[in-house]
Amino acid sequence: MRKLALFLASLALAGAALAQSYPSRPVKVVVPWPPGQATDIAARMLAMKLQEALGQPFVIDNRPGAGGSLGTAVAATSPADGYTLLAASSGPISIMPSLQKLTYEPLKDFVLIGLITRNSYALVVNPAFPAANAKEFIALLKANPDKYTFASSGTGATGHLLGELFNSTAQVKARHIPYKGSGPALTDVMSGQVDYTIETVAATVGHVKAGRLKALGVSTAKRAAAMPEVPTLAEAADLDYDAGAWIGYAAPAGIPREILLKLSAEMQKALQAPELKEKLLNAGLDPASSTPDELPAFMRREQERYAAVIRNANIRVEQ
C-alpha cells in the first residue's frame, strides 16, 4: 500500500513538473482556414495573448482546404504533447462528420481545450422585402410555400444548416441557392436576386448598418454584441431556436492533463482581458469561455444537432 502511495505521489510530482516547464519551445496552432477567415482571426488574437503569458511563440500554421478538414486531419495525427494545437470550429468538427467520410473522428481524436467565441448568425433580407419583422416574414413564407429563396455560402455550410433549421422550426418551405462563399450570397440578397440568408453577424453587420440589408433577428439565445438592437429570432418570432457557430482551441487526444489544464486556465484568463474582448467584439465575434470538462458533452450535442438537420433536410455534398 505504501509503495502504491509513493508511486502515485511520484506521478503527481512528475505531472506538476511537466506543467510547470510547459511550454519549453514554440507551440504550433494549425488553422484549417485561410488568413482573414473568422477562425483565423480569433486564433491569432488568442495566440498573441498566450505567447505573452507563457513566454514562447504560438505560431499560426494555416492549412486551408476541403472545408477545414485538411488542416484538421493534419492536427489529428500530430503528437499529443501540447506543442501542436488546432483552431477548431463548427464546420470540420461538428458538421462534416455527418456529411462525408473523414480521416479523423472529432469526438475520439481531439480534446477541446476551451472555446474562444460563440458566434451569432443573422437572418437578413433586402431592405425592400415586404416584411417589417420576423413574424411577418414567417407569415409571408407560410402563405407562399417554395416561392421564396434563401442563399448560403455553400451546400453543407453552417449557414445552410442554420437556414434549414430555421425553416423547419418556423414550418416554412423555401428553395436553397448555394454559393461559393458568403460574399456572393450576400451580394445577391442585397440586389434582391435571392430573398434571404442566415449568415454570420460578422459578415452582415456592416451591410446592416449601411442600410444595404435588413436584419430580422439573430440566431442565438442572446442578442449579438455587435447588433444589440436586433432581437433574437426566439424573442422576435416566438421560436424555439438557438443556434450558432463556435471557435475554440483543441489538442490531439492524449495530451497530458496537466498541460491541458494549464492551457485552459491561460485561455480563460486571456479571454477575461478587456483588450482581447474588445478586439473580438470589433470583429463581430462574441467571446466565450469554458473548461475542458464541460466540452465533451457540448461537442456531442453540437454533432447530434447538425446530424439531425442534415438527415431531415436530406443534405448531400459531392465527394
Q: Are 40 and 30 spatial neighbours (Cβ–Cβ below 8 Å)?
A: no
- Domain of 166? 121-237
Answer yes or no: is 133 within a domain: yes
Q: Which of 237, 265, 283 is the last residue of a domain?
A: 237
- Total count of domains within the chain: 2
Answer yes or no: is 48 within a domain: yes
Residues 33 and 176 in one domain: no
Residues 63 and 128 in one domain: no
| Alpha-carbon gap, residue 169 to 304, rounded angstroms | 17
Residues 140 and 63 in one domain: no
Q: Which of 213, 237, 261 is the last residue of a domain?
A: 237
Residues 68 and 131 in one domain: no
Answer yes or no: is 2 within a domain: no
What are the angstrom distances between the C-alpha of 101 and each of 73, 97, 177, 316?
A: 12, 7, 24, 12
The number of beta carbons lying within 10 Å of the beta carbon of residue 203 is 21
Residues 137 and 213 in one domain: yes
Q: Are 244 and 119 spatial neighbours (Cβ–Cβ below 8 Å)?
A: yes
Residues 257 and 113 in one domain: yes
| Alpha-carbon gap, residue 14 to 306, rounded angstroms | 41
**Strands (E) located in 185-291:** 196-200, 214-218, 245-252
CATH of residue 225's domain is 3.40.190.10
Answer yes or no: is 5 within a domain: no
Position 304 scores a pLDDT of: 95
Answer yes or no: is 11 within a domain: no
The number of beta carbons lying within 10 Å of the beta carbon of residue 206 is 12
Residues 132 and 112 in one domain: no
Q: Who's near 110: CB < 8 A, 6+ residues apart?
A: 75, 76, 86, 88, 93, 104, 250, 251, 252, 253
Q: Are 223 and 50 spatial neighbours (Cβ–Cβ below 8 Å)?
A: no
Answer yes or no: is 3 within a domain: no
How do the pLDDT tens digits run along the chain, 319 residues long? Answer: 665 545 444 444 445 566 889 999 999 999 999 998 889 999 999 999 999 999 999 999 999 998 899 999 999 999 999 999 999 999 999 999 999 999 999 999 999 999 999 999 999 999 999 999 999 999 999 999 999 999 998 999 999 999 999 999 999 999 999 998 889 999 999 999 999 999 999 899 999 999 999 999 999 999 999 899 999 999 999 999 999 999 999 999 999 999 999 999 999 999 999 999 999 998 889 999 888 999 999 999 999 999 999 999 999 886 5
Answer yes or no: is 77 within a domain: yes
Residues 125 and 109 in one domain: no
Position 17 scores a pLDDT of: 65
CATH of residue 56's domain is 3.40.190.150
Residues 87 and 56 in one domain: yes
Position 9 scores a pLDDT of: 45
Residues 103 and 192 in one domain: no
Q: Which of 214, 237, 260 is the last residue of a domain?
A: 237
| Alpha-carbon gap, residue 214 to 208, rounded angstroms | 6
Question: CA 257, 261, 262, 267: dihedral to nearest 10 degrees?
Answer: 140
pLDDT tens-digit profile of 222-237? 999 989 999 999 999 9
Answer yes or no: is 34 within a domain: yes
Residues 110 and 252 in one domain: yes
| Alpha-carbon gap, residue 314 to 316, rounded angstroms | 6
Residues 40 and 131 in one domain: no
Q: Would strands 110-119 and 196-200 be described as parallel, antiparallel, or unpaired?
A: unpaired
